[in-house]
Amino acid sequence: MNGVANNLLEIDNLGKRFGGFVALENISLSVPNGERLGLIGPNGSGKSTLVNCICGTLQNEAGTVRFDGATLDGFTAHQRTRKGLARSFQLPRPFASLSLLDNIRIPLLYTVEARGRRHSTSEVEERCDHCLREVGLQDKARHLPRDLTQVEMRKLELARAMAAEPKLLIADESMAGLTHSEVEDILALLVRLNEQGVTIILIEHIMRAVMSFSRRIVVLVSGRKIADGQPDDVMRDPEVERAYLGQ
Amino acid sequence: MRSGPFLLICLVLGGAVYGAAALLDNDYIFFAGYVVLQYVVLSTAWNILGGYCGYVNFGSAAFFALGAYSTVAIHKFTTINETVAVPIPILVLMAGVVSGVVGYGMGYLTLRLRGAFFAIATLALAVVLETLVVNWDFVGGSRGAYILRPSEIAPFGNYVRYLFLIMVVLAAAAVTVARLIERSRLGYGFATIRDDELAAEALGVPTLQLKLIATTISGALMGMAGAPFPYYIGFLQPSSTFGLDYAVNSIAMPLIGGTTSWVGPVIGALLLGSLEQIATVTISSAINLLIVGCLLVGFVIVAPRGIIGLVQTYRRSKPEEFAARRPIDADAPEATP
């Protein structure tokens, strides 16, 4: 059981169905502390469903999810967030009526403070400003999300997830539709976070980004895990090639 | 401004209106003013759930009636054996507890529904409660209930003046509570529920718990608004107490005033409430709902975000004039730095 102690996230035989459709089947996955994991798979392979099951947006029917030594089954999404899980959504979901600053304020008020750390008003402002600065949005702090471009929206999504001070960050396709240099920006941000000790799971279709970021890659196809290992090995795996390129 | 001084200012304002009306020595002003203030409480209460959280409650009349009928029940119960009547402020608090509990229960049963489905469920609650009251003989059933109030009370003189003062305090309290919520952690949580519940959960906001807090506070305040009503009206009847007027007005007033800030329902209630009182005297009491309906349709077309929304749009168009000021609420725009 030596390995288990070091694993931040431990998924064991997880299964999820939607009616007769099996979205996930017998997924087992361990993510050690400090890992940079890439999760890839064709559209509809169950990546987002897996994220939803980990984060509590959906409840899995079979198997268990363990995080930081505790079983998460039955916990709601906000309880899991407070335990140190954070995610960004595939399509950005900002709070439309709140300014950027207040968007960042939410996880500080509801997650960081719920862990027992009280902030004074000025500390909260400082933290919000810091988070926005990390993604280069500090000049728009008082704007509403509708004034943002698509890239900025994705940056806000990440900044908001980071503000919750997670142990594990799941970035769900946070680079789709971005240009080359914008992808580099976000990758640099994720690497910086990882260096600060945050474990990161990156879900992405842009292979260049996944390959340069991940130290390990997991491939999902039709709700099953077909490969798990070093990026280069996984890419050479015939089953992965078949899934992506067809026979 | 902190809440203490704010409450004080509200009370002083209400006291000033009381003083002015007393100087004119016209009891009709108290009579009409009571109704307007009652709508300030109702629409402020509605806005805590409807405006802040985005859950449209069509059952305001049910909570209002619940408050009124809890007064009737307590009054009947305490006067059976010729005991002293309970003072109205205590009745108000008791009604607040009763309707707060019902609000919590309603929330627990219906908050898994969203949008139109939630609205329909609240409407159903009103129907269920009305049926219960109609069949409850102790509070008068469908015949209605009489409450005999003393015509004078020391040191206020006419009893209506006393009721008016109670409503002043209640309105000031309701507005202070709404304003306090808006600027607190709770208010930010409510706003995230209005905007995106899924994202809110993912960021640690306990959405179900917050929605239950909202239905409880909102329900309690509505019930408190209804508690003095039997003393005001003298004869309480289920069909009018559960009437459409209360449900429609407490939705229309915040919508016309603007739902994102505590100011909106207050403006809406003062404006629409006064207009209705004037129409009652000058045209006919039956025309009230028609006026409300027409105004609501007009506002939905011209200013969907209410009067507050109009002001904000105006400010946005002239950013330099307002650049130095911080926004009143999170939704207020601010100039580009």
**Chain B hits for A57, Cβ within 8 Å:** 198, 201-202
pLDDT, average across residues A102-118: 88
pLDDT tens across A147-201, in order? Answer: 998 888 988 999 999 999 999 999 988 888 788 888 888 899 899 999 999 999 9
Fold of A2-95+170-245: Rossmann fold (3.40.50)
pLDDT at position B97 is 95
Cβ separation B191–A111 shorter than 8 A: no
Q: Is the pLDDT reported for residue B118 higher than 80?
A: yes
Both tokens assigned to B282:
């000058």
Listed residue (B337, B23, B43, B26) closest to B175, CA to CA: B43
**Chain B hits for A102, Cβ within 8 Å:** 188, 191, 330
**Amino acid code (one letter) for A29:** L
Angle between helix B27-50 and B263-282 (nearest 10):
140
CB atoms within 10 A of CB B289: 15
Q: Is the pLDDT reported for residue A216 higher than 70?
A: yes
Residue A107 neighbours by CB under 8 Å, 6+ apart: A81, A86, A160, A161, A163, A164, B203, B204
Both tokens assigned to A34:
């400090």
Best probe of the A interface among B181, B203, B208, B209, by most A CBs < 10 A, is: B203
Side by side, the strands of the sheet bearing A36-40 are A85-88, A168-172, A199-203, A36-40, A216-221, A224-229
Cβ separation A106–B192 shorter than 8 A: yes
Q: Is the pLDDT reported for residue B268 higher than 50?
A: yes
- Per the model's pLDDT, the better-predicted residue between A213 and B331 turns out to be A213
A130-A136-A142 Cα angle (round to 5):
75
Cis peptide before B155 (omega within 30 of 0): yes
pLDDT tens across B183-202, in order? Answer: 899 999 999 999 999 999 99
Q: Is the pLDDT reported for residue A208 higher than 60?
A: yes
DSSP state of A112: I
Listed residue (A99, A58, A157, A98) closest to B193, CA to CA: A98
Which has the minimum average pLDDT: A77-86, A106-115, B299-308, B319-328? B319-328
Domain ranges in chain B are 3-266
Contact A55, A93 (CB under 8 A): no
Confidence of residue B336 (pLDDT cuts 50, 70, 90): very low
In DSSP terms, A218 is beta-bridged to A39, A228
Q: Which uninterrupted H or E stretch holds A219?
A: strand A216-221
pLDDT at position B334 is 39
Closest chain A C-alpha to B125 CA, distance in angstroms: 28
Q: Is the pLDDT reported for residue B168 higher than 50?
A: yes
Name which of B185, B208, B333 is nearest A109 (Cβ-Cβ): B185
Q: What is the mean pLDDT of chain B?
A: 86
pLDDT at position B46 is 95
- Virtual torsion, Cα A212, A214, A217, A221, nearest 10 deg: -70
